[in-house]
Amino acid sequence: MNSCLSTRGHPRLQRLVLRAIALVSFIALPAIVIPQLAVEKFSVLLGFGKPPPLPLLIYMTAGAACVYVGQGFLLWLMSGDVMRYRPLIVFCGWAYLAFGPLFLWIGLHAGMPTFQVVADSLSCAVAGAALLISCFWRSKAQAV
């Protein structure tokens, strides 16, 4: 492995950022088990009222929740060895950074409430920036 790549970044900060994102991803866990209730609660919270129990909506909710929880487990796994998974961590940082504007566009076109659009897009952008900073930021001790 290239010694420059192995010493770049701030491993402890990378681990912390990855685990924080993973923990947020685990919030989706109840939607896997009780998707109808999750859809109802989230819909009411956003001001849309109680949605009809459409099979596709329930299926998509549970499926999306599985993806979020799976992502959380992968990020937690990568946080255990940030040197080994550095290329994937950098990719995740760039992906989150790109998904920020994408979530903004999706939320605006879907007619989501402003606070939800801002929360989704900003959290993605911040997560991406935090990962990239943790991957490329070097402490003064490393620079010597």
How far is residue 77's CA from residue 23's CA, in Å, rounded to a whole number? 12
| CB contact at 8 A, 96 and 128 | yes
Provide the residue type at 41 as one letter.
K
Q: What is the mean pLDDT of each run of 10 residues along the chain (144 residues)?
A: 56 96 96 94 92 92 96 97 95 97 96 95 97 84 52
Global pTM reads 0.84
Neighbours of 4 (CB within 10 A): 7
Between 55-79 and 11-25, two packed helices, what is the crossing angle to 10 degrees?
Answer: 160
- For residue 139, the model assigns a pLDDT of 60
Report the pLDDT value the prediction gives residue 4, as an integer from 0 to 100.
40
Listed by start position, the domains of the chain span 3-143
What's the pLDDT at 102?
97
Token pair for 9: 């970044």
